[in-house]
Amino acid sequence: MAIYAIGDVQGCFASLQQLLAHIQFEPDRDRLWFVGDLVNRGPDSLGTLRYVKGLGPAAVTVLGNHDLFLLAAAAGIAAPRPMDTIQAILTAPDRDQLLTWLRHQPLLHREGPFVMVHAGLLPQWTIEQAAELAREVEQVLRGPDYQELLRTSFERPSVQWSNGLTGMRRLAALTHVFTRLRTCTVDGMMNESYNGPPDHAPSGFLPWFQVPARRSTEATIVCGHWAALGLHLRDNVLALDSGCVWGRELTAVRLEDRQVFQVPCDGEDCPVH
């Protein structure tokens, strides 16, 4: 059995199919880990979501910011924009089943020496703390108050994380960290607006994984979210968003030996670049 971690698909289903053919994926033998952002911007978000859901236990996915945006749009909390490609999901006959499945996916998946999240972890968090905090959000996303959490996340100004936060503001701040973090200060203050290359980050801000004395270094963090960073492999970080939807590549890394597999963006999958 092999485990392949795959970067942000974002509805690039044709590219995903090519990548799975390239690695000779067999669902009864192998497992796929998706770093989140299964949907949006690419041309076949519906096909991607149906496929990953249909894999059952052969696939694990964590929630990304675009996945949460889909849930918010379905609830009437966020309005789709011209570049969004989620309308086919919103009008699909199996919409409710797909959305219910999606909001039951985790924000953090931990297995052996690996921890998978969409964006990253604040430097002051240990792995144990991060797992506990993720469970707080997951419990609400899976329950009757999930729309209130989405509304707080999408309609109100974002709040920096602190231990003293309570209620939905606390959960929304956690959600932003797990799904939007790229750069932060040494004290863990996020800069949500910056999405450029790491060497041009605003003064005082570092890529989250480069903050000195980061407390989660005992695990290898598998993540995506940062297309301008690109494929970035370190001893304890596997950042896999290689910008397929921007006309670049879709990447898989086999976790056992860190072998990298890539396919170029299928021409039909690259409307954004």
Containing structural domain, residue 234? 3-269
* pLDDT at 58 (0 to 100): 98
Q: Is residue 119 within 8 Å of residue 179, measured between CB atoms?
A: yes
Question: In the numeric block, which tokens belong to residue 164?
Answer: 């003293």
Residue 166's contacts (CB-CB under 8 Å, 6 or more residues apart) are: none
Q: Is residue 9 within 8 Å of residue 48, measured between CB atoms?
A: yes
* pLDDT at 271 (0 to 100): 60
Contacts 24+ apart (CB under 8 A), 130-137: 130/216, 133/174, 134/106, 134/107, 134/108, 134/174, 134/178, 136/170, 136/171, 136/174, 137/107, 137/171, 137/174, 137/175, 137/178
* pLDDT at 176 (0 to 100): 97
Question: In the numeric block, which tokens belong to residue 12?
Answer: 């690039």
* pLDDT at 269 (0 to 100): 64
CATH code, 28: 3.60.21.10
Residues of the chain with pLDDT under 50: 273
Report d(CA 223, CA 253) in Å as an integer. Answer: 11
Q: How many domains does the chain have?
A: 1
* pLDDT at 146 (0 to 100): 98
Which helix (H) or strand (E) element contains residue 250?
A: strand 249-254
- Give SS3 for 26: coil
* pLDDT at 40 (0 to 100): 97
